[in-house]
Amino acid sequence: MIEVRNLTKRYGELTAIQEVSFTVGRGEILGFLGPNGAGKTTTMRILTGYMPATGGTVTVDGFDVFESSFEVRKRIGYLPESPPLYLDMTVDGYLRFVARIKGVAKADLDGATDRAVETCGLAEVRHRLTGHLSKGFRQRVGLAQALIHDPPVLVLDEPTIGLDPRQIIEIRKLIRRLSGNRTVILSTHILPEVSQICEKVVILAAGRVALEGRMDDLMKQGVSLEDVFLKAISKDEHAGEEAAGEAEASSEGAAP
């Protein structure tokens, strides 16, 4: 469903991600793991067509993100790191607006809005301003917004960040319920979240893929995600140190 190949993104001098490749099958939930600043958000922004990559390709449902960005954007529901809410609109008004710009047919506007409200448990706050909602509800409105046009692919950037434990459990349940036959990419740095809901995991460290694997394979090997994660990250740190060492050595060598 989603194929990411050799994706590289540079911001000027800074390389955010380098040669990132992975695939997600139809209906799978992919946990996208990594410490802060590993390049998770950058990858997701490229995937959703928000910004282009410096190199590499992404295809979603057979459509290239750069060449047929329009088709890709129709098929993706995206929840950015902070839910993109217009704080002066009611939940209902906001969801209807999003439904319209996502191309939901006019006849189905009410239906789509009702479905999203119901799925995300927003009935009680439906007529309140999004600006007056608690963080948990805002996050749910963000999810509802991503779902409203019933997209086959959901991209969720840290959907549980900043929520209290009860809310986290609710959102996780919701994501599991939503997945069904949808493909979900979920970024997080909370490990138990991945072991609880994901079928596949990709660990990103310092802009590179440190590990790509299926959860049940990891289980079979009897290693905990935590060990795998720490190992993947520390390996990268070593690599970083080595690279720095080499750079020093070569600069010494270059000095006359």
Per CB under 8 A, residues contacting other proteins are 11, 45, 48-52, 70, 73-74, 76, 78, 80-89, 93, 97-98, 100-103, 145
Residues 188-208, buried b or exposed e (16+ Cβ, 10 A)? Answer: bbebebbbebbbbbbbbbbbb
- Please report how close the Cβ of residue 79 comes to other proteins at its closest, in angstroms: 10
Residue appearing with tokens 């080499």 = 246
- Please report how close the Cβ of residue 147 comes to other proteins at its closest, in angstroms: 13
Between 97 and 176, CB nearer to other proteins:
97
- Please report how close the Cβ of residue 131 comes to other proteins at its closest, in angstroms: 10
Between 56 and 83, CB nearer to other proteins:
83
- Please report how close the Cβ of residue 57 comes to other proteins at its closest, in angstroms: 17
**Residue partners of 224: CB distance under 8 A and separation at least 6:** none
Between 20 and 104, CB nearer to other proteins:
104
- Please report how close the Cβ of residue 93 comes to other proteins at its closest, in angstroms: 8
Which secondary structure element, helix H or strand E, spans residue 63, and what is its range? strand 63-64
Between 65 and 168, CB nearer to other proteins:
65
Between 73 and 182, CB nearer to other proteins:
73
How many CA within 13 A on the CB side of residue 125? 22
Say how far apart CA 1 and CA 23 lie, in whole Å. Answer: 8
- Please report how close the Cβ of residue 236 comes to other proteins at its closest, in angstroms: 27
The SS3 of residue 134 is coil
Between 32 and 229, CB nearer to other proteins:
32
Burial of 63 (C-beta count, 10 Å sphere; 0-12/13-18/19+): middle
How many C-beta neighbours within 10 Å does residue 130 have?
A: 22
205 secondary structure, DSSP code: E
